[in-house]
Structure 1
Amino acid sequence: MSLEQLKSDVAELAAFLQQAKGARVKDVLTTAKAEAEREIVNLELKAKIAAERQATGSSEAKRYLHELTDYGWDQSAKFVKLFITLNGVQGCTEENVTVTYTPNSLQLHVRDLQGKDFGLTVNNLLHSIDVEKSYRKIKTDMVAIYLQKVEDKHWDVLTAIQKRLKQKKDSELSKDGDNPESALVNIMKKMYNDGDSKTKQMIAKAWTESQDKAKLGKETGGGLDSFDDL
């Protein structure tokens, strides 16, 4: 899809979002808008890189941009910190590891790391950041990005999209408040989806055993009693 078409889609989605009333409709429109904005940023970054390579006549034109999606994050009272693992990145020059900031986004670009380019884009940050006071550090096999908070607030999640998704999950759980059994099942589903491999194994094992017992007539209550063991 062209850059012009994506920008047109974003404008149209923004107009629909202003008119939307239902929470589910707003979630769908917000997610679609964020995805289109991410594609715009990536296309603009690729176009910028291509123009720079053409202007310098560099052999870099043979390299492809690899989009990064995995990173860890943490926070302190003043900073939100992102940690991006890139083997050998300490061998790059300072000029080849750049981060572009806006009040609500960041864009990392790593050039010529073992013959490859890497990029990471994070849009719709949960709260605004101070562009001038944000910075990055190159460490062994890692790029650390420090986002200066504008307000002294605790960030529950990194982006506004993640917050909306979390609110949606919590809302789905609360809808079953009058039905304890359904609520418990949903809670277990959430624990399974958010848990580590060991937690998932325990929940799956307990659920399977409870279903087997229920089929044999040895247990009632929808197969939920065995969750007490967790």
Structure 2
Amino acid sequence: MSMEQLKSDVAEFAALLEQAKSARIKGVLTTGKAEAEREIVNLEMKARLAAERQSSSSSDTKRYLHELTDYGWDQSAKFVKLFITLNGVQGCTEESVTVNYTETSLQLHVCDLSGKDFGLSVNNLLHAIDVDKSYRKIKTDMVAIYLKKAEEGVNWDVLTSIQKRLKQKQDTEMSKDTENPESALVNIMKKMYNDGDSKTKQMIAKAWTESQEKSRMGKEIGGGLDAFGDL
């Protein structure tokens, strides 16, 4: 879809939002508007990257965009703060470290850091942010992004609405497990196995193997690890 069409869609969504009365309709329109805004940001970033690469005097060496996925975050009453570690980023110019914001997303782009480009996208923020009052700082080996909360004082349990839904799903599963303590333990151990490092997986696998041997010998164990099946 073209940039012009996306901008037209955003304007139409905004106009419809002003007329909408139903909370459900407003939710649908808000989601549609946010999606169109994200597509605009993506197109703008791609266009800027293409222009930078074309005009670069070192265009003989092609740079690829490295997607960043690791970051830390914190919050205060007014801001949600993201911390992205990038070695040597303090040597970049102000113009080469940019962040594009929408009410529910952000995209960081770092141009030509040690011959590489870096990008970070965070979509579907849990709550709306004030785009005009959000900003970023370049620190030693780090980029700090300050997202101004549209509603000050509101606590963000998680960073994105997707993480919120996952957390609610996990809470629901855990509440079901309270009715069956053995099942709860098995699920916890399975999660530890799936999320753990190689050493943790070896320890859990060893415990499971030993529990199977004990079960075959007719011994009972309280943890119910024999219910693991195939991890």
TM over 0.5: same fold? Answer: yes
Distance 2:199 2:221 in 1: 27
User: Which of structures 1 and 2 has the bigger CA Rg?
Assistant: 2
**Per-residue deviation, 1:117:** 1.1
Report the equivalent of 2:182.
Answer: 181
Report the equivalent of 1:78.
Answer: 78
**Per-residue deviation, 1:89:** 0.5
Render the CA deviation track for 1:19-78: whole Å, top value 9, x for unaligned: xxxxxxxxxxx9xxx99x988855652233103444xx3236532221111111122222
Letter of the structure 1 residue corresponding to residue 160 of structure 2 = T
Q: Is the 8 A contact 1:173 1:187 kept in 2?
A: no
**Per-residue deviation, 1:201:** 6.3
Report the equivalent of 1:14.
Answer: none
Identify if the C-alpha distance between structure 1 residues 82 and 103 changes in structure 2 by more than 3 Å, giving closer, same or farther: same
Identify if the C-alpha distance between structure 1 residues 222 and 84 changes in structure 2 by more than 3 Å, giving closer, same or farther: closer
Q: Percent identity?
A: 82
Letter of the structure 2 residue corresponding to residue 157 of structure 1 = V
**TM-score, with length taken from structure 1:** 0.69
Report the equivalent of 1:145.
Answer: 145
Identify if the C-alpha distance between structure 1 residues 102 and 43 changes in structure 2 by more than 3 Å, giving closer, same or farther: closer
Moved more, 59-68 or 155-164: 59-68
Structure 2: segments with no counterpart, 5+ residues: 7-23, 25-30, 227-231
Letter of the structure 1 residue corresponding to residue 141 of structure 2 = D
Report the equivalent of 2:126.
Answer: 126
Identify if the C-alpha distance between structure 1 residues 3 and 67 changes in structure 2 by more than 3 Å, giving closer, same or farther: farther
Report the equivalent of 2:28.
Answer: none
**Per-residue deviation, 1:203:** 4.8
Distance 1:81 1:197 in 2: 32
Report the equivalent of 2:163.
Answer: 162
Report the equivalent of 1:96.
Answer: 96
Identify if the C-alpha distance between structure 1 residues 163 and 200 changes in structure 2 by more than 3 Å, giving closer, same or farther: farther
Report the equivalent of 2:21.
Answer: none
Report the equivalent of 1:13.
Answer: none
**TM-score, with length taken from structure 2:** 0.69
Matched, 1:210 2:211: yes
Report the equivalent of 2:18.
Answer: none
Distance 1:169 1:60 in 2: 50
Identify if the C-alpha distance between structure 1 residues 144 and 165 changes in structure 2 by more than 3 Å, giving closer, same or farther: same
Letter of the structure 1 residue corresponding to residue 224 of structure 2 = G
Distance 2:58 2:182 in 1: 59
Render the CA deviation track for 1:107-147: whole Å, top value 9, x for unaligned: 11111111111111111001111212211111111111111
Q: Is the 8 A contact 1:129 1:150 kept in 2?
A: yes
Distance 1:50 1:101 in 2: 20
Identify if the C-alpha distance between structure 1 residues 198 and 148 changes in structure 2 by more than 3 Å, giving closer, same or farther: farther
Identify if the C-alpha distance between structure 1 residues 172 and 44 changes in structure 2 by more than 3 Å, giving closer, same or farther: farther
Q: Is the 8 A contact 2:186 2:224 kept in 1?
A: no
Q: Is the 8 A contact 1:125 1:160 kept in 2?
A: yes
Report the equivalent of 1:15.
Answer: none
Identify if the C-alpha distance between structure 1 residues 77 and 145 changes in structure 2 by more than 3 Å, giving closer, same or farther: same
Q: Is the 8 A contact 2:71 2:85 kept in 1?
A: yes
Two-structure CA RMSD over aligned residues (Å): 3.4
Q: Secondary structure at the match of 2:154?
A: coil
Identify if the C-alpha distance between structure 1 residues 212 and 43 changes in structure 2 by more than 3 Å, giving closer, same or farther: farther
Report the equivalent of 2:50.
Answer: 50
